[in-house]
A and B are shown apart, each in its own frame.
Chain A
């Protein structure tokens, strides 16, 4: 049997004013149906680019993506995307945002009452049924992200693509959202690709962790299989040796093998001031020593 989702030999070259920039080089990844895969890597390595190619929003410069024996050429609702910044339409209520997707995907397949039930069902799934007639401006960041997930789930996608879905949330809300996502996943068993920069999140949620090397010419560095039993409990796992082994594997990859020495983007002025304060500190140190 052929793979459910096959990313093979993907290169991505961006034309930039300074010449072409090879973001991705020979990315290969096979994903089975029902698998939860996270992409992890330092920021700017090309995770979003991979996701956008699978979504069809970008066209790979060479190589390609095959989903259920069909080549991906354009975006479509069977590859629903949850964007980092919720990207809800601010002039529509939570319900209407999901409705727009449902009407588009199930036109002719569901009647009005079925659609209504389906929209409400998906909002219930993400625990947003109590605020479904509120607009994005009236609900918190976590709630917006929930609605974004409900909208994606309501499309009944073959693959659910999530680009740092919880990146903009505070730690507590994020933990809550991760638990919700695991709960939903245990019911629906979707195929998911999720980008994250959170090591715990990757280990907790995934069946496979795909670690990407630094760009330019980023590619898949290592793939880690996570065979922890489900349902997973974050508190119990904190003591688990296998969990901690996986966690340190990912950390090792990110901070030893793909260590990134990033010059902080600062203006010269700030640098100068820092130099000065550094000198002061040095002086203090010498005084203390003396």
Chain B
């Protein structure tokens, strides 16, 4: 009798264990299996449809063609770097030889002016988008806080924001270009004009969501907390530092995420339109180039652009987790 109950007991335990494993499997499948299936279906649909689309540059590239182009792009990058390396080595030996003959000879060091690789374009775009975004944040967050604190300032600035917010980057670009070439004149510029153009266009388009969200966050702080600050007679600076900033951090980050998304989209468009270095220019050049590989290379760029956009968003989210008190 006793042993019988213990057997059933064991069986029950076993069953519990199995159930627990099943639950875990179900969770795992949600995280891994389902996205995997989704991607697999997407790839097969892509392959099939790509095969049936004929363009003037040949068939639309399927996943395999794109992967091949990734390999090519990587190889081109490696080759280009080797060339650069060789160039510098040659230059060095030449200079050393000259110097040995004539000690008063001043060595000339020239930069390598090779073709920018796909990787170079990615780096350029990333640096540009981050510079433009950080500049926007430096303007938008203090201004948004100020607007949130002062109803009069909010009333004064709000119409301007509402009007400029929906303006497309393509409209700003010519203006920015003209102004930059008029104002930014230096015989030995630290950064190129095209970089400034792209960056300012990004700033102009991504500054608005951050201003708006910061201002909303600040003006919707719990009035009890404001009263605490009043009773304590906190100075304006302490008030902002101890109450306003922490309280509006979640909204500030919401604005930053929106802005960075806008910034990344705007940058690619601006680079295409203005032929400024970056991923946008890569896409445009490939389009103009019109070789049989072009579409696959553009598709590779599209994948990279999407992936970077995703990573940028995750980056802000991680920053928010790190800074914010409520997550």
Contact = CB atoms under 8 A, between A and B. Distances in A.
Interface in A66-85: 74-77, 79-81, 83, 85
A104 B227 contact: no
Interface residues of A, number: 23
Contacts of A12: none
B224 A90 contact: no
A89 B243 contact: yes
B227 A77 contact: no
Secondary structure call for the A interface? loop
Contacts of B246: 89, 91
A276 interface: no
B97 interface: no
B326 A77 contact: no
A134 to B, nearest CB: 13
Interface residues of B, number: 17
Interface string B298-327: 000000000000000000000000000110
Residue from B222, B231, B243, B325 with most neighbouring chain A CB atoms (10 Å): B231
Nearest to A100: B242
Nearest to B230: A75
Contacts of A90: 325-326
A85 B228 CA distance: 12
B32 interface: no
B222 A104 contact: no
B231 A79 contact: yes
B133 to A, nearest CB: 25
Contacts of B108: none
Interface string B213-232: 00000000010110110111
A77 B224 contact: no
Nearest to B227: A57
A105 B243 CA distance: 17
Contact of A100 (B230, B232, B326): B232
B234 interface: yes
Interface string A81-107: 101010101110000000011001100
B228 A89 contact: yes
Contacts of B243: 89
A55 B231 contact: yes
B233 interface: yes
B242 A89 contact: yes
A55 B227 CA distance: 10
Residue from B222, B227, B247 with most neighbouring chain A CB atoms (10 Å): B227
Residue from B222, B228, B246, B326 with most neighbouring chain A CB atoms (10 Å): B228
Given A57-B227, A81-B227, A83-B227, A91 B325 contact: yes
B252 to A, nearest CB: 13
A81 B232 contact: no
A108 B231 CA distance: 19
Interface in B231-258: 231-234, 238, 242-243, 246-247
Nearest to A91: B325
Interface string A121-140: 00000000000000101000
Given A89-B242, A100-B242, A75 B234 contact: no
A56 B232 CA distance: 12
A108 to B, nearest CB: 14
A77 B232 contact: yes
A77 B225 CA distance: 14
Nearest to B222: A87
Interface of B: 222, 224-225, 227-228, 230-234, 238, 242-243, 246-247, 325-326
18 contacts: A57-B227, A74-B230, A76-B233, A77-B232, A77-B233, A81-B231, A83-B227, A83-B228, A87-B225, A87-B227, A89-B243, A90-B325, A90-B326, A91-B246, A91-B325, A100-B232, A105-B232, A135-B325
